[in-house]
Amino acid sequence: VDQHDSAFDRGTAVEARGDGRYAATLGESWTIGPGRPNGGYLLAVLGRAALARAAAEGADHPHVLAANVQYVSSPSTGPAVVDTEVLRIGRTASQLRARLVVDGRPAVEALLTTGRLAEGTDPWWGAVPPVALPAEEACRRLPSMSPDGEERPSIRDVAAVRFDPACLGFLDGRPDGSAELRGWFRFADDAPVSPLALLFVVDAFPPATFALARTGWVPTLDLTAYVRAVPVPGPLRMRFRARVVHDGFVDEVAEVWDAADRLVAQSTQLAAMRIPPGVDPPDPVPPGGPEA
Amino acid sequence: VDQHDSAFDRGTAVEARGDGRYAATLGESWTIGPGRPNGGYLLAVLGRAALARAAAEGADHPHVLAANVQYVSSPSTGPAVVDTEVLRIGRTASQLRARLVVDGRPAVEALLTTGRLAEGTDPWWGAVPPVALPAEEACRRLPSMSPDGEERPSIRDVAAVRFDPACLGFLDGRPDGSAELRGWFRFADDAPVSPLALLFVVDAFPPATFALARTGWVPTLDLTAYVRAVPVPGPLRMRFRARVVHDGFVDEVAEVWDAADRLVAQSTQLAAMRIPPGVDPPDPVPPGGPEA
């Protein structure tokens, strides 16, 4: 599949409407609940609009380097607009705001930094070794998580995510207490993962708290993503970890490596986490937590 | 010192001007270069305005839980305004935008999530043990870093930061290669550190890359801070680590613990890092980096 005819590129396409406004269509294939687009997908749509705006302003900044996003309301699929504002066009990097508006309501607000990532370079220095994983064939796709068991379009149709079976105890009601999900990512159509698509990848896993305890959904309040390099062709590896659960909030960190073992994307998010009465943490922990 | 008469509270005070606008005065004591306010201080001023706005809208959300910030231009000290916009007033959390404008130019843009942190609670679960440090008395304040050796007002007057001597090799031109700075934080006037003040604390250290290699300044492009708990009285401990240096960018992670060993704040930032010709990384590293 050519990158410019991939499901991702079609699903995140935007069209200039003038005055920094871009039109988009939020696709059914990018949902996690009935008709509810995935947060990483929405961020990628905002990123696409920000890149179009930066280009329209004459910036040679074809990549989103950093993105902060607040999920304000959960939009429906269908027509949407993205309003962009240029904060600064710089030499190394440019800074923009973008807002996704659906049915006249703000749905997602983002701050984006754009620039140019070199291709084929290695890190100058790094302290984040790649996650160890069984072979992709030995990893498992998740069964449908839809509450009523009905099969609907969802990101499972476009994202082929395979998890290390060792972290999937939660599927049988036995979270392993590690608060860590690990797995492989590739697009179902085998399209190359562009730097822009990494904004989708960092939010393509279920909450890492699934591997900690049985709780309800864990809605993201605030997400930050950094894109560090252009991935080489091949499947990506991802690790998604919860760090601290305190007073109804949890922070989760994602790291993504390409087939050349390079860290290509990172994210951190703060999510609300309601813990049902009677659910205890997996281990008694000292105030500061166990050794990481 | 009473919290409401602290240097921090005076330095970050805002006054409502109507229509979501707040007036502030950026103080000389909160600078890092001649007349250049520190980034964490600016974020705290934005946070103060966002809390005032949330209160004006009737939200019972006295704490900033999460903040994303883009540094657009480096403002001067003196009069400034903060324009706020409410994105959503929710039950658990509210979301706002805020923009610091100085001399008619946007200087800092932020997205803020506000809510209420419980006091005196322990984490339900955590995987971030506190950093080990020598006693505060055995740690060292930094000498003045001003290029011309002239003593000027700076955050050294208001923030008493003491570093573990083991990470200060860079002062003698011998960075230890760890990319980690560790130390104690308290306000010079011994005022309690409020949750809002943690937005200042997470950016009160020099770049962690000082403990990696001799490079120039490392300007922050994008910073995200999470506030997790109301600190108990007493000095804070902080660890600030660089993670990956690639293509002229570095990400740095800060963690802050209170005197009860609880993680009270976290931050991550992406910064530009120009590496002078002839400066090599401290160790030959495999593509993914050494063991963290």
**For A221-272, how does the pLDDT look when each residue is reduced to its tens digit (9 = 90+)?**
999 999 999 999 999 999 999 999 999 999 999 999 999 999 999 999 999 9
Q: What distance in Å separates the CA atoms of residue A200 and residue A226, rounded to the nearest whole number?
A: 12
Q: How far is B57 from chain A (nearest CA, A)?
A: 17
Q: How far is B178 from chain A (nearest CA, A)?
A: 9
Least confident among A82-96, A274-288, B107-121, B127-141: A274-288
A–B interface: beta-carbon pairs under 8 A: 234
Contacts 24+ apart (CB under 8 A), A95-104: A95/B70, A95/B72, A95/B109, A95/B221, A96/A50, A96/A53, A96/A54, A97/B109, A98/A46, A98/A47, A98/A49, A98/A50, A98/A53, A100/A24, A100/A42, A100/A45, A100/A46, A100/A75, A102/A26, A102/A75, A102/A76, A102/A78, A103/A75, A103/A76
Mark yes or no for CB contact B287/A260 under 8 Å: yes
**For A179-221, how does the pLDDT look when each residue is reduced to its tens digit (9 = 90+)?**
999 999 999 999 999 999 999 999 999 999 999 988 878 999 9
What stretches in chain B show pLDDT beneath 50?
Answer: 2-3, 284-292
Neighbours of A208 (CB within 10 A): 26
In this prediction, residue A286 carries a pLDDT of 43
Its sign, for the CA torsion B285, B289, B291, B292, is positive
In this prediction, residue A5 carries a pLDDT of 83
Mark yes or no for CB contact A129/B286 under 8 Å: yes
Mark yes or no for CB contact B224/A228 under 8 Å: no
Mark yes or no for CB contact A87/B95 under 8 Å: no
In this prediction, residue B148 carries a pLDDT of 65
A119 to chain B: closest CA residue:
B247
**For A134-166, how does the pLDDT look when each residue is reduced to its tens digit (9 = 90+)?**
999 999 998 766 656 667 788 888 999 999 999
Q: How far is A157 from chain B (nearest CA, A)?
A: 31
The ipTM estimated for the assembled molecules is: 0.94
Question: Strands, E, within chain A: which ranges?
Answer: 14-18, 21-26, 31-33, 36-37, 63-71, 78-89, 94-102, 105-115, 125-126, 159-163, 180-187, 220-227, 236-246, 249-257, 263-272
Q: How far is CA B135 from CA B13, B110, B163, B235, in A?
A: 33, 36, 10, 11
